[in-house]
Amino acid sequence: MASDTELTPTSYINHHLTNLTTQVSEGSFWVLHVDTLVTSLILGVISFGSIWLIVRKATPGVPSKRQAFVELAVEFIDNEVKNTFHGNRHVFVAPTALTIFVWVLMMNAMDILPIDIMAWIYEHAFGLHNWRTVPTTDVNTTFALALSIWFLMLYFNVKIKGWGGWMHELFCTPFGKNPLLWVLNLLFNFIEYVSKPLSHSLRLFGNIYAGEIIFLLLGMWAATGVSGAIFGAILGAGWAIFHILIVTLQAFIFMMLTVVYISMAHESH
Amino acid sequence: MNINFTLISQAVAFSVFIWFTVKFVWPPLLRAIEDRQKTIADGLAAGERGRHELELASQRSSDVLKEAKQRASEIILQAEKRASEIVEESKRTAKEEGDRIILGAKADIEHEVFSAKEALRQHVAELAVAGAAKILRREVDAKAHADMLVSIGEDLK
């Protein structure tokens, strides 16, 4: 904690939850969280770059250990997609699911990094006072993903069913074709379309954000002395181990929901 | 919880990563996996075919074996029959040969007996002549009495 002001629990937590921002243009919207963007870009480039390097030399014969590892991940995801999506999944849906799973997993996994050591490194090695390591604790990231998928969902709805088919679905499902029910159907679908991206993004954000907060709270045990620090470290280790599950599970859930939403856009009711 | 330009930048990054995966990561790996699946399927099919062929071959070999056994037993049967035939035939030939030998021997014996009788007769005639000469106590003119001697010899036959 390289804060110049007096260190209180509030300032400690605030320090860790403050993004490095830069003003892109006039207005409160045109702010960029540099840490979120840079971290996620680095993670994406590293993971997809290394996967690409491995896959580029993929052989149908006996695979190398690295190739086998990538194949394991790909086939796991491909199986999940196959069970949900009944179309040619190789064109778009399965690679998208792979992208989401790998990227979200990597971004979530940043939560495992010890938060204060990372802060010290950012401060002293890079001279960055505020730097949030976990891109998925930024609601912008999760909303960006969820909204992109939401637009994909609309795109596939129109592409597969046509404007007429989609409108028919909006007005005539789930309760029936009766004109009296049109308003009800539309309202129902409207709520569904609004709630989908919200629940999709906030679930991921909430889980990872809460995880980070708990790390911060456990980190504050260090303020009570040596025994408190040891106690906090033990609890922190336990939470980190448990967090491995949450990190993976949330990435998986996010991917599965994506596949389900896009599949629903492909299937008429 | 402030939504700002980060959202758009992240969405752009997301779409770039999706494009990258769709374009460069998924197809080569899928191709490799599908090729391998095909190879494995071919291998399994070949194994199945091999097993089937082995089954056929063992069926065939047992058929051949059975036939060979049958042939062998036929041959043995034939050989036994032939052997007993040969034994019978040789018995018969031996008997014939024996008979012939016996017959020959009998003829020889008869011939011997005849010549022995002849020799004996000659001897007896000479003895008779010598005896008669002694009895007469005089010289018998062999030439003068040859006729008589011959006729005595004839009589002794």
Give the pLDDT of residue A147: 94
Write the residue in A32, A51, A90 that is nearest to B6 by C-beta: A32
CB–CB of A204/A249 below 8 Å? no
The 3-state DSSP class for residue B91 equals helix
- Segments making up each domain of chain A, as ranges: 33-266
* B chain contacts of residue A60, beta-carbon cutoff 8 Å: 31-36, 39
Give the pLDDT of residue A262: 93
> Which stretch of DSSP H or E encloses residue B86?
helix B26-136
Distance separating alpha carbons of residues A177 and A171, to the nearest angstrom: 8
- The shortest C-alpha distance from A230 to chain B (Å) reads 33
A2 has pLDDT over 50: no
Q: Do B18 and A96 touch (CB under 8 A)?
A: yes
Encode pLDDT of A201-241 as tens digits: 999 999 999 999 999 999 888 888 899 899 999 999 999 99
Nearest Cα residue in chain B from A44: B17
- Tens-digit pLDDT string for chain B (157 aa): 588 899 999 999 999 999 999 999 999 988 888 899 999 999 999 999 999 999 999 999 999 999 999 999 999 999 999 999 999 999 999 999 999 999 999 999 999 999 999 999 889 888 888 888 787 766 656 666 777 777 777 777 6
Q: Do A90 and B17 touch (CB under 8 A)?
A: no
Residue B19 contacts A where some CB pair is shorter than 8 Å:
no
Give the pLDDT of residue A3: 43
State yes or no: is A14 an active-site residue: no
Which ipTM score applies to this complex?
0.88
State yes or no: is A199 an active-site residue: yes
Please report the number of interchain residue pairs, chain A to chain B, with beta-carbon separation below 8 angstroms: 125
Nearest Cα residue in chain A from B14: A145
A16 has pLDDT over 90: no
Distance separating alpha carbons of residues A94 and A262, to the nearest angstrom: 11
Q: What are phi and psi of A61, to 5 degrees?
A: -80, -145
Encode pLDDT of A132-155 as tens digits: 889 999 999 999 999 999 999 999
Residue B58 contacts A where some CB pair is shorter than 8 Å:
no
Distance separating alpha carbons of residues A245 and B145, to the nearest angstrom: 163
State yes or no: is A207 an active-site residue: yes
Give the pLDDT of residue A1: 42
Question: Which of A199, A227, A263, A268 is flagged as catalytic?
Answer: A199
Whole-model pTM above 0.90? no
- β-pair partners for A33: A21
Encode pLDDT of B103-127 as tens digits: 999 999 999 999 999 999 889 888 8
Give the pLDDT of residue B142: 65
Q: Do B32 and A90 touch (CB under 8 A)?
A: no
Here the tokens at position A145 are: 């993903």
Write the residue in A36, A44, A74 that is nearest to B6 by C-beta: A36
Residue B86 contacts A where some CB pair is shorter than 8 Å:
no
